[in-house]
Structure 1
Amino acid sequence: MTVIEINDLRKSYQGRLAVDGVSLTVGRGEIFGLAGPNGAGKTSVVECVSGLRRPDGGTVRVLGLDPHGGDRRALQQRIGTQLQVAALPDGIKVGEALRMYASFYDEPADWRALMDEWGLTGRKGSRFAALSGGWKQRLFIALALVGDPEVVLLDELTTGLDPDARRTTWGLVRAMRDRGVTVVMVTHFMDEAEALCDRVAIIDAGRVTAEGTPRELIGRAGAASLEDAYFTLTGRDRA
């Protein structure tokens, strides 16, 4: 079943075309990756899907709803979002943040159970500023899930994390899918996309360059890894 449908999406900023005719579908219960270099348009696509930005052209439907019309509030009750520049006040405590976010939803998940599930109970009283990068990301995932969403949008979730925290976060993303949640994740790390995603769309200069399972893309490029396939499929040179 298709839960996200994007047709000919276009978005410009001050005359610069950031998203140039992107069309994609995402099925229920999969991890779908938007992979590509910084500035490729990936975040703009996710922001249009979430309703945070209005596209200049094309259509977006999430769970059959329009994120930019009269369906917006109903949709916000059914999706969770973790943005690239996510932050919380330094002094807010883990438990306070989860309780506050739960109050935004008509039928939230049990935020105390989420703390247990994501290993945050021992840090319930910890202030945001005192958390390591890995624990902050764990909290952001729990916040994205506190509305008991059907779809979660994750933007550059592991940027800035050390290798151990990064792999732990990968496990958390897989656990989201195991809950039955559809995950759309933005990444510029090809190893991350290869390890996590059921399907990947490689976006470059605002356009979808290639789409398929990691194995399909690797085979199409005759490459040894998705990172190698990326350079072949986009025609980019390695730095």
Structure 2
Amino acid sequence: WFPVIIIGLYCLIFEILLKRIKIDPSFRVILSICLGSIFVSLFIHSSIYNDDLGWRAILLFVLTGTTIVTFYVNEYCSSFKKAIFIFIALIGIIEPLNFSKMLIFGADYYRPRPSLKELNKITHQTHKQDRLLVNIHQNETFEPWGGNLLPPVMVNRKFCFQNISYVKTFGPNWGDKVELMDHAIRQFYNGKANDKDLALIKQFQCNAIIVTRYDPVWSYMPYTDLTSVYSDKNLRIYNFNR
């Protein structure tokens, strides 16, 4: 959709400047937001989370640009031009569909762990009120981003912890314990967690611990505080002893 918005925006600006078409004041506001979003991403750099401002600012361009191009195509384009825009838009759909398929079924550099079949097992072996813990570090060599939303969506369960950036955004009340929890999860799945790590995991109310055959702790479970409630060749689920 980027090419569609860019081409449509250029065409509309051409119409405004050369043909002197009149636009509604409210439409000018949308157009200003759209252009401002582009200029922010182009010329303003932030040092937060890999230039987070530059990446996020362009989203306003996408939202307002879609509205502007829809208006332009509807009001000023002939049937032939509309067909061209639709053709470009259809080409643009291919890549998002391919990306979605990759996230669900896996690609050369990304393999969802656990698999979809294992995620389905987790759904049937846990309760809706459970707060699940999974190894958030197991895909670090595969994923470009730190968090993976696929498991919570597919399992339809609450996860007690995703990654640091998600928790800081949606659970700021945890404060400094966010970094400690992230470290505790890494230690736990490597079979090296101490009593403080386990206590912190309990404090985050993780009452269903998911372990897969990909986790280092799979071959050796040193934690006596955990009770196995489900086990097969690829998946184990543990609860803390009461």
> TM-score under structure 2 normalisation?
0.31
The structure with more strand, counted as a fraction of residues:
1
The structure with more helix, counted as a fraction of residues:
2
Higher relative contact order (CA 8 A, sep 6+): 1
> TM-score under structure 1 normalisation?
0.31
